[in-house]
A and B are shown apart, each in its own frame.
Chain A
Amino acid sequence: MNATEIRFSGSGGQGLITAARILASALVDQGRNVAQSQSYEPVSRGGLSRADLIVSDGEAAYPLVSRLDFLLILDQAAAHASDDLLGEGALVLVDSALVRDPPQGAFRCLALPFTETAQGLGNKRAANLVALGALVGLAEICPFDALERATAARMPARLERLNTEALAAGRAMADAQVVPAGG
């Protein structure tokens, strides 16, 4: 079965579960099936936190990840927590300011300024959506307008402009990374 495994990792309070739920919601609207799980510490801020998403067209027999296709790391706390799940062909996106020591191996790893960009938009807490925009741009698992609709549906209306800008900034980062076909 053709399943894609995605992990959002970092520290508690970075909106990792929120980002995963938004993507899950966009994907189900596209007719895909998702299984979304998480692990976090019993604190409201800080501590190792992660949200996982398995995207498939049938029912996922096992709803927890075993080999990641896409890994997002937003904090040094999570830098190496997922090393065992990374294999050849994976794409790893790390926050260039907050992750000092990204994973290394036979996979592509990009350091991108998610938090810095969110700060520039006026709220560093939107880093999760900048990263989500970049992830969707690079992973091509979901149409961008579906992602925007799912974000608007799940997030407070007062944050709609910030969130739209954050997603777009992330997408621009992805566009800058994607090598055009034949290029």
Chain B
Amino acid sequence: MTSRRLNLQGNQACALGAIAAGCRFFAGYPITPSSEIAETMSGELPRVGGTFVQMEDEIASMAAVIGASMGGVKAMTATSGPGFSLKQENLGYACGAEIPCVVVNVMRGGPSTGMPTRPAQGDIMQARWGTHGDHTVIVLAPASVAETYSETIRAFDLSERLRVPVVLLLDEVIGHLVETVELGTTATAATRKFATGPREEFQPYAVTEDLVPPMPRPGDGYRAHTTGLTHAPDGFPTQKPDEVRAAIGRLSDKLVLHRELIESWHSQAADDAEVMIVAIGITARAAQKAVDDLRAQGVRAGLFRPVTLWPFPEQALRDVVAKSGARAVIVPEMNQGQLVLEVERLLGRDLKVTGLNRFDGEPLSPADIAARVREELAP
């Protein structure tokens, strides 16, 4: 594929990124502001021999995605807040049974039907803790159209390599934003580790060195049992404490072991920042502009932008802030304070961490953020 320069919408970039990553199954139920993902997939998937299904609802969509993935196909669904809530039970199944899949949530104003066409970042914690039980999930939060394309590809790669559901968390502005992008040569897409070796020795949840059990490819003849019940390496239910501890512990240990692969973040003007801003999505774009404007006026502001939202790149944030010598941290977000809780957990003992919140359906502006930084530095 040669480089193409074009205007692309965030949602379209997500769909095209999924196709480039090898996604060949999409099941969904349209909802603003995510519908263009389904719309684009319905056009693109048949062209590459894939399958698009508009399901009866979001619950069934998530179930279909899990089934397709167990059938050996890279699969995705896309929704917004209310639909994301409906997908949570089956997302828990995918976490427990370690079924690779990508779930896109383009955040809008909530709770409930809320404000369908307005941006919000109210699902930061739902994305991490929405489903039941002591589970692990990866959440990626791109901040531009180009990054939506590349992070969708990375979402599939992480999901397939690590056998874990990955949530791609966009906000309405990024989902609906059109930007000029250059789509370069597609990086090689990661492939799932399928079972090889003697069939009689196969265990669907074997403990391997990389903590990622190979999956059986349907038709290869490996016997596998998949269940939402807590299971031993042979795939059958167990409630023996030592087996349970090993099984649930491995899910977390797996992400810790592969932390370097998972974590992604950017910093801007951080080295000597007196005030550090931590933000994601469109709010991070506003923060970038605020930092540029403040620096032009001699104000030492910096930005830490997690691209991998969960697991949060905690050591990176600690290191960047320690190196800067910043004395205060501001967390702007389009909700009443969610991301700030994680930043407080990581830095709050030594530093003043405060939020800057807007939840009226309008994005925080660069001027809002710059004013808050100045307030922090005022004598």
Contacts and interface: CB of A to CB of B under 8 A. Distances in A.
Interface string A36-67: 11111110000000000000000011111010
Given A24-B7, A28-B6, A39-B117, A64 B173 contact: yes
B176 interface: yes
B286 A34 contact: no
B297 to A, nearest CB: 16
Contacts of B5: 28
B203 interface: no
A41 B115 CA distance: 9
A36 B7 contact: yes
Interface stretch (B16-24, B129-137, B361-369): B361-369
A62 B176 contact: no
A27 to B, nearest CB: 8
Interface in A3-44: 21, 24-25, 28, 32-42
Contacts of B193: none
Contacts of A61: 285, 288-289, 292
B42 to A, nearest CB: 20
A41 B367 CA distance: 25
A94 to B, nearest CB: 24
B176 A38 contact: yes
A35 B8 CA distance: 9
Contacts of B285: 61-64
Contacts of A25: 7
B226 interface: no
B7 A64 contact: no
Contacts of A24: 7, 178
B83 to A, nearest CB: 15
A32 B177 CA distance: 17
Contacts of A62: 285-286, 288-289, 366
B267 interface: no
Contact of A66 (B177, B178, B366): B366
A21 B117 contact: no
B193 to A, nearest CB: 37
A35 B367 contact: no
Interface string B106-136: 0000000001111000000000000000000
B117 A37 contact: no
A168 to B, nearest CB: 24
B117 A42 contact: yes
Contacts of A66: 365-367
Contacts of A40: 117
A34 B7 contact: yes
11 contacts: A25-B7, A34-B178, A34-B179, A36-B7, A39-B118, A42-B32, A61-B285, A61-B288, A63-B177, A66-B366, A66-B367
